[in-house]
Amino acid sequence: MEATIESRVSPEAVWKAWESAHAIHANSPIEPGQRSKSTGFKYQILDVVKGERFSILWKSLFVRMIFTHSVRAVDRGSEIRYTAEMKGLFAGLVKFLLKNKIQRNLSFVLKEFTKQLEKASR
């Protein structure tokens, strides 16, 4: 599952917003292995390529979901992409049942995130 959008905001501004949202302390970098909590669910940062992408791992009993955030420069600003993949014993079943909902949520969250970034950069 994937959602992509182009924005007039620079990749650096996108990365800074992600660090503000996901870093443990204000003005600290996103680090692999760090654990955090957001809107009621706990997650762990899996990998980080500073300024380009990072992945979040969320676990439930028999399913692991990996959400990857990536950004790259394009002519008019940046291309921002969110992807989600599922692994584990019941990943196939959960994907079958929730794929459309997750896809809609990825698109919605990405659009809202971009809208807020563009508004803040005016």
Q: What is the CATH number of the domain that holds 92?
A: 3.30.530.20
In the chain, which ranges are E strands? 2-7, 35-38, 41-49, 53-59, 64-74, 77-87
Q: Which regions of the chain are under pLDDT 50?
A: none
At 116 the pLDDT is: 94
- Cβ neighbours, 10 Å, residue 56: 20
Tokens 């380009």 belong to 52
At 26 the pLDDT is: 65
Question: Model's pTM, two decimal places?
Answer: 0.90
Cα separation, 20 vs 18, in Å, equals 5
Pairing state between β 64-74 and 35-38: unpaired
Tokens 């909590």 belong to 37
- Tally of domains within the chain: 1
Residue range of the domain that includes 73: 2-120
Of 120, 118, 119, which is closest to residue 9 (Cα–Cα)?
118
Of 75, 78, 80, 84, which is closest to residue 104 (Cα–Cα)?
84
